[in-house]
Structure 1
Amino acid sequence: MISSSKLLSKTQIQNAFFSRFYHTNRVNKSTLHSKISTLGNLKTSVIPELENWVKNGNKVQFADLQQIIHDLRQRKHFTQALEVSEWMNGKGICVFTPVEHAVQLDLIGSVHGSKLKSPYQKMKEMGLASSPLTYNNIMSLYTKLGQYEKVPDVLTEMKENNVFPDNFSYRICINSYGARSDIEGMEKILKEMESKSRIVVDWNTYAIAANFYIKSNLNDKALNALKKAEARLGNEDGTGYNFLISLYASLGNTSEVLRLWNLEKEACKRYINRDYITMLESLVKLGELEEAEKVLKDWESSGNIYNFHVPNRLIIGYCKNGLYEKAEAMLEGLMKKGRVTAPNSWAIVAMGYHHKDQKEKAFKCMMVSVNIKGKGWDPNPKVVTSILNWIGDEGSIQDVEAFVASLRKAMPVSREMYHALIKAYIRNGKEVDQLLNQMKVDKIVEDEETKKLLTMRQK
């Protein structure tokens, strides 16, 4: 088998495995957020915690208080959220914009209910209800909280107060209907928007409508909306082209994807990495891997700065179609050129080989994966365990030690790691006493499988 342990000397491997890693525990630094979030009782006031925080010489950041209010709202701790908002306003920590006023008024309504004047009436009294911005902020707030059903009421109140909705006002409302799969409501707002001479319906609005048509399987209506969106694309609007390309891919329309790709290059003169990523994602979704390969070759000769996310889209496409050899070859080619690759991409290829019962190839790719320096390594635990079982039965001691030593740097030590080593040691006539002692140090308890493996050394 291919010996991936050539990367490390035997002494290095053994030292890496048998060395005990000691880490000082991180001190959990207390934050204002953590102090308030632990106040479980809804009736407990947060004011003492806020006052004590300042009294103890700690700084209070506006962004932190915003996050605390947001989290309390999410947990439906409205009274406590209102206390933080009022305390923040009273202390003059920031100058309240219409957004902060809107949040506070909404909290007042949640805490005190219908006994109070409507938030909009209070906004009028405060001189905050005279422009679309305030209402747009409220609608954006409801959208962010997932309370889409409240958005149309804000638009209605806005018009009743003689404040003219702008493009963004209508778009938020269209989105709120679409998010609730209310296509009829969405179309009603879109027609109203189209009827306003002072409103310019841009490509984004029609693209949003097209997206919801696609989700509702109304493909003919989606195509009509996409044509309207394309007609409104500005020169050099790469973002718009990318959005439409993605939507046509969702419709399974390869010819339109390729047509828009060519139009984009004419309009924008050149493609940036984001454009290539969108196009590759779309072609992979369509199963057009040969076209994707052409696009990748174009990217390689484009002179753009290297970004692994670009070729990785095709690598993922190969894996989705069971072409693991092609995916591995591309990864190896990038590494030979000194290019950065991602551990998870190698892990995905390893998982593919594992499912095809090609254990040696799975081990080789997983070994590369675990030795790549980078964040976000998250392989399938079942695949790791399966490779450990196989290498324990088939691999050399050096291969097993190298793999386990690498795994220990990337994930918590496990019983399966020790079992792989025990099997390899016993197969090669090596004593396992040191392993068993290390297991105890690592607080890994012997189970029935461990005892069964140990009986092998007596045969």
Structure 2
Amino acid sequence: MWALRRASANSVKAQGLNLAAFRSCAGIAPFSSHTEDKSSNSQHHGFTLDSWISSNICQPIVHFSNHFSVGNRSLSSEAGAKSGGEEDDVEEGFSELEAPEASETTGKNDESSDSSSDSESDLSNVDENMEENLETELMGDAEMVAGGAESTKNWGPSPLLKLILDASGQAVSDVLDRYVAEGKDVSRTEAYQVLLNLRRRKMYVKSLQLSEWLEKKEDFDFTERDYASRVDLIAKLRGLDKAEYYIDTIPKSHRQEVVYRTLLANCVSVTNPAKSEEIFNKMKDLGFPLTAFACNQLLVLYKRTDKRKIADVLLMMEKEDIKPTLFTYQLLIDTKGIANDVVGMEQIVATMRAEGVKPNIRVQATLARHYANGGLKEKAEAVLKEMEGDDLQANRWICPMLLPLYADLGNTDDVERVWKICGSKPRQQDYLAAIEAWGKLKNIEQAEAVFKKMTKSLRSLSSKHYSAMLKVYAENKMLSKGKQLLKEMGDSGCYIGPVVWDALVMLYVDAGEVEKADSILQKAIEKNPQKKPLFSSYMAILDQYSNKGDVHNAEKLFYRMKQAGYVSRARPFHSLLRAYVNAKAPGYGFRERMKADNIFPNRTLAGLLSQVDAFRKTSVSDLID
């Protein structure tokens, strides 16, 4: 059980908040078993009720009816649809909770020229650890998937993987057919190895082609996780509807919980609350057990769209006796940090320790980042020193995390020290982190030196490498140098997708040329209609139009965002409303527009709505009337 109430009871009392007040502000009807019998499973309830309370989140606000039912694990997009705390409500930027553990790369580049390599998560700071967790869930360990194969650590280079990587522009099925025609066999172990490598490189097109070829192979029996992997790839490349249609074709014996939870994760990854809740409820209707993985998906979703619903999920977890995972704690710590609730963040860390869960490097990095952003330099430095340990040289894999964090603190000496530890042969992530760090410190010369060294070290550069330097130029308003780098990038034949578009948009936006940035993004979409720009690209332009009070262009861009599928988010509505406020123009029908997208006004949005209400009454208008 969760021994959690004791960890934060004192701080809750200090805030003057009680159980009833918490449930009131969380939009959840109180349960008599919780309020009357505090001795019943009190440790279990402590996590939800004590550790999550924050005085800057629990604000009395107007809210709509609540259709969230903990008893039957059913969800509705209108559930608890309200938020408190102005900055907490408005901000839609989410910090990277946990990128994949830094390790030696398996090939010359982490990122390939695969047409799908630029995923939304690359630049949008959308909880990248979720993708890693999904991959782990889908692929399992080598023994499970490969039927008794040895650990992946013992795998040698795969000749089949090399053939697929070298066969640029060729269908994987053609490569495999030739491979088999030469008398060679594709074992389950090797197929798993190749598929895992392709997925890690984000070469989803080739991964899907390999999966389709394997399913047609008579002696290759597909498991539930094989089908789930296919669902994931179809959702990424062809959309949720195609993935859901494919599920209907899966043999019923393999159409189990992991398949649906994979679809749920993809619904969350594109921030589709309605579809996510629909799939979650379908899993419940099918009688699948509720898992921490599924609950974590909802936490990720509501962290992006409506932080108040996090309390609903936590109550559901405690009712169903679902123990929080390390990722659950990471999500909650990061959410508290984004809300500038340092006390709440530290309470959750204390709760983790009380439960015997040791914060890993990713949790420590999250803490350090929020301490730095909150101006708590000494606390941030203490966490970073703990991350380094006694011998950073032996733990040099954490250097990519340390470099930008020390830069956030303005510690030039520490950035230089950590960079030297990377030695004469830095890895790709070391290079990228160093470029970012020197850019934050406004040391363009050092950032350029690292970039130049990287170009000589790697055989070829991908869009990820160029984008790192482009962002430095953008943040420092160096338009001419950014243009020159773009020319070099084009001459190299490097793939240009949403990641590069985002860097390009930022380059022109930060230079004050918002119309040019808008034009570039629009041309990119027209030439690549199958590609979806990043959410941050749209918002950078929309915010500039909003600041200028340019209602016409703000509405046009808002419409394009909806066409791209960026709906059910409060952030775009907030920016659009500010455009009307700055233009001193009335906004007609905004409440209806927001309700149609299941966006319900929190305190900040309600304030903006009142300012653009053409029919609002003032003290002067009352006298005139």
Residues 1:33 and 1:329: Cα distance change in structure 2 (over 3 Å): same
SS of structure 1 residue aligned to 2:525: helix
Matched, 1:59 2:321: yes
Deviation of 1:246 after TM superposition, in Å, equals 1.1
Farther-moved stretch of structure 1 (62-71 vs 200-209): 62-71
SS, match of residue 453 in structure 2: helix
Q: Partners in 2 of 1:327 and 1:58 — Cα distance? A: 45
Distance 1:301 1:26, change over 3 A: same
Q: Unpaired runs of 5+ in structure 2?
A: 1-26, 35-40, 52-317, 334-342, 369-379
| Structure 2 Cα separation of the partners of residues 347 and 174 of structure 1 | 34
* TM-superposition CA deviations, 1:143-194 (whole Å, max 9, x none): 33324335446646237xxxx6254133344445434322113212322332
Q: Is the 8 A contact 1:346 1:369 kept in 2?
A: no
Cα deviation for residue 201 of structure 1 reads 0.7
2:355 is matched with which residue: 84, 94, 106? 84
Q: Which amino acid aligns with 1:189?
A: V
Alpha carbons of structure 1 residues 68 and 365: separation in structure 2 relative to 1, 3 Å:
closer
Aligned to 1:35: 46
- 8 Å Cα contact 2:477/2:511 also seen in 1: yes
1:286 aligns with 2:548: no
**Could you tell me how far apart the structure 1 residues matched to 2:385 and 2:506 are?**
34
Of 515, 520, 523, the match for 1:297: 523
Deviating more after overlay: 69-78 vs 288-297: 69-78
User: C-alpha deviations, 1:246-288, integer Å up to 9, x for none?
Assistant: 1111121213323333444565654333432332233212223
1:280-323: CA deviations, max 9, x gaps?
23321222335421342132221324558355543333334454
Opposite residue 587 of structure 2, the aligned amino acid is F
Is contact 2:558–2:576 with CA below 8 Å preserved after alignment? no
**Map of 2:555 onto structure 1:** 328
Determine the structure 2 residue equivalent to 1:441: none
Q: Is the 8 A contact 2:502 2:534 kept in 1?
A: no
Q: Distance in 2 between matches of 1:262 and 1:256?
A: 10
Identify which of 231, 251, 257 aligns with 2:476: 251
Show structure 1 runs of 5+ residues with no match.
Answer: 1-24, 41-55, 86-99, 104-136, 393-415, 421-448
- 1:69–1:171 Cα change, 3 Å: closer
Cα distance change, pair 253–376 in 1 and its aligned pair in 2 (3 A): farther
User: Quick one: distance in 2 between partners of 1:244 and 1:59?
Assistant: 47
Q: What displacement does 1:34 show? A: 3.5
Structure 2 match to 1:216: 441
- Classify 1:255/1:372 alpha carbon distance in 2 versus 1 (closer, same or farther; 3 Å): farther
Query: Identity, % of aligned pairs?
Result: 10
- Evaluate the alpha carbon distance shift between residue 250 and residue 227 of structure 1 in structure 2; reply closer, same or farther with a 3 A threshold: farther
| Compared CA separation, residues 354 and 39, structure 1 to 2 (3 A) | closer
Tell whether the 8 Å contact from 1:142 to 1:148 is kept in structure 2 after alignment. no
Conserved 8 A contact 1:249-1:257: yes
Q: Which amino acid aligns with 1:256?
A: K
1:17-32 matches, cutoff 5 A: 26-28=28-30
- Give the conservation status (yes or no) of the 8 Å contact 1:238–1:268: no
Is the 2:506–2:540 Cα contact (8 Å) retained in structure 1? yes
Verify the 8 A CA contact 1:68 1:81 in the aligned structure 2.
no
Check if 1:363 corresponds to 2:592.
no
Q: Aligned letter for 2:413?
A: E
Structure 2 distance, partners of 1:201, 1:326, is 45
CA distance in 2, matches of 1:298, 1:37: 45
Q: Which moved more, 1:213-222 or 1:338-347?
A: 338-347
Contact 2:546–2:554 (CA under 8 A) maintained in structure 1: yes
Question: Radius of gyration: which is bigger?
Answer: 1
Work out the number of aligned pairs and report it. 301
- Name 1:148's counterpart in structure 2: 381
Residue 121 (structure 1) aligns with: none
**Structure with the larger helix share:** 1
Matched with 2:394 is 165
Residue 407 of structure 2: aligned partner = 178
**TM-superposition CA deviations, 1:67-87 (whole Å, max 9, x none):** 3998799446888654421xx
**Secondary structure of residue in 2 paired with 1:213:** helix
Of 539, 542, 567 in structure 2, the residue corresponding to residue 315 of structure 1 is 542
**Are the structure 2 counterparts of residues 168 and 376 from structure 1 closer, same or farther at C-alpha, using a change threshold of 3 Å?**
farther
2 CA distance for matches of 1:81 and 1:184? 33
Contact 1:148 1:179 in 2 (8 A): no
The Cα of 1:241 is off from its aligned counterpart by 2.3
Judged with a 3 Å threshold, the aligned counterparts in structure 2 of structure 1 residues 312 and 173 are, in CA distance, closer, same or farther, namely closer
Tell me the distance in 2 between the aligned counterparts of 1:84 and 1:167. Answer: 29
Structure 2 CA distance, aligned partners of 1:80 and 1:312? 36
Q: Secondary structure at the match of 1:158?
A: coil
Say which of 351, 370, 376 aligns to 2:578. Answer: 351
TM-fit CA distance, 1:62? 5.1
Q: Do 2:407 and 2:415's aligned partners in 1 also have CA atoms closer than 8 Å?
A: yes
Output one character per residue of 1:80-118: Cα deviation in whole Å (capped at 9) or x when no partner.
654421xxxxxxxxxxxxxx5x55xxxxxxxxxxxxxxx
Contact 1:280 1:295 in 2 (8 A): yes
> 317-326 or 75-84: which moved more?
75-84
Cα 1:166–1:368 change in 2 (3 A) is: same
Instruction: Name the SS of the counterpart of 1:144 in structure 2.
Output: helix
Change (3 A) 1:294 1:67: closer
Counterpart secondary structure, 1:221: helix
Q: Counterpart of 2:555 in structure 1: which amino acid?
A: E
Q: What is the deviation of 1:63?
A: 1.2
2:547 and 2:578 in contact (8 A); partners too: no
